[in-house]
Amino acid sequence: MKSAIKFLKYPGIKLILIRDIEKEFKESGCSIFIDVFGGSGSVSLNLSASKIIYNDIDPEVASIFSAVKNHSEEFYSELCVMTESKEDFMSYENKPVDWKNRKVKDACLSFYRHNTSFGGKGETYGTEEKGSFQFFMKIFTNYAIISKKIRTFTVENKDFRDIFREYDSVDSFFYVDPPYPGKNWYNYEFSNEDMKDLKNVLKNTKGSYLMNFNAEDDLPKQIFGNPQYVIKYDNRNSLPGTEYKYYSFYKRVKKS
């Protein structure tokens, strides 16, 4: 398997699931892939489809992808500033810069904060830990590939209900990875009522879908019932006793 494209640190990155997500997508025969809760973009960036819709309800997160899509060269210029040296990288937030585009400025600052924070949460900074500078250098090196891919996306900043209303069709495949229940990791929390609404939306959708949760979470089972299947994955950089991670999957795939 080729090396995965990494762009944005964010809670709940699903790199280890991509092979199984792509398998279900290909079997569906659909040509439109909708990443309903896009987050880090790791799934959209590493999956092939005729059309990819990336969505995230958080305008700060969505703005990063919009900036790369619509202002790729300006974003790249800021990456150059960030990675000119480790000293420049560490002091990037405080640099006095004559910005021409406020939206690009804000997106670059959000990008910097997410990628220098613990777990990609954008709050607890750790620029001196775990090779943050090296991570940025990898993004800088691969930016041509990353930006080329993102420029093909349709980038949305909408509630999941609106995404289903706008893009539902027999040729649509919805990848559904809701925020973790009970975790204070996101600017926009996902409530029990949202879960119930999601169940109703999926019940009535025309297209195919694949949804996943951590298998140990009880709330999804209470709302959606038992999953179609559970897969065990290697849990990289794990603590002793947590070498494996289990994900449960719910799907409706209308094979062509």
Burial class (CB in 10 A: 0-12, 13-18, 19+), 35: buried
Supply the pLDDT for residue 182. 66
Q: How confident is the model at residue 239 (pLDDT cuts 50, 70, 90)?
A: low
Supply the pLDDT for residue 255. 61
Q: Which 3 state secondary structure label does DSSP give 247? A: strand
Q: How confident is the model at residue 229 (pLDDT cuts 50, 70, 90)?
A: very high
Q: Is the pLDDT of residue 128 over 60?
A: no
C-alpha distance from residue 47 to each of 14, 18, 33, 91, 97 (Å): 12, 7, 9, 35, 36
Tally of domains in the chain: 1
Q: Is the pLDDT of residue 118 over 80?
A: no
Domain that holds residue 31: 15-252
Instruction: Tell whether 238 is covered by a domain.
Output: yes
Residue 178 or 93, more confident: 178
Instruction: Tell whether 149 is covered by a domain.
Output: yes
Q: How confident is the model at residue 145 (pLDDT cuts 50, 70, 90)?
A: very high
Q: Is the pLDDT of residue 86 over 50?
A: yes
Tell me what percent of the residues of the chain surpass a pLDDT of 70: 87
Q: Mean pLDDT score of the chain, rounded to an integer?
A: 88
Q: Is the pLDDT of residue 150 over 60?
A: yes
Instruction: Tell whether 1 is covered by a domain.
Output: no
Instruction: Tell whether 5 is covered by a domain.
Output: no
Supply the pLDDT for residue 254. 74
Instruction: Tell whether 79 is covered by a domain.
Output: yes
Least confident of 58-62, 95-99, 135-139: 95-99
* Strand partners for 46: none
Could you list the beta-strand ranges (E) of the chain: 32-35, 51-55, 154-156, 172-176, 208-214, 229-234, 244-252
Q: Is 78 left (phi over 0), alpha (psi -120 to 50) or beta?
A: alpha
How confident is the model over 44-78, as pLDDT tens digits?
Answer: 999 999 999 999 999 999 999 999 999 999 999 98
Residue 248 or 98, more confident: 248
How confident is the model over 178-226, as pLDDT tens digits?
Answer: 987 666 666 788 888 999 999 999 999 999 999 999 999 999 999 999 9
Supply the pLDDT for residue 103. 86
Supply the pLDDT for residue 247. 95
Q: Is the pLDDT of residue 133 over 90?
A: no
Instruction: Tell whether 155 is covered by a domain.
Output: yes
Q: Is the pLDDT of residue 124 over 50?
A: no
CATH number, position 39 = 3.40.50.150
Neighbours of 36 (CB within 10 A): 25
Instruction: Tell whether 91 is covered by a domain.
Output: yes
What is the pLDDT averaged over residues 9-29? 91
Supply the pLDDT for residue 188. 80
Instruction: Tell whether 9 is covered by a domain.
Output: no
Supply the pLDDT for residue 244. 87
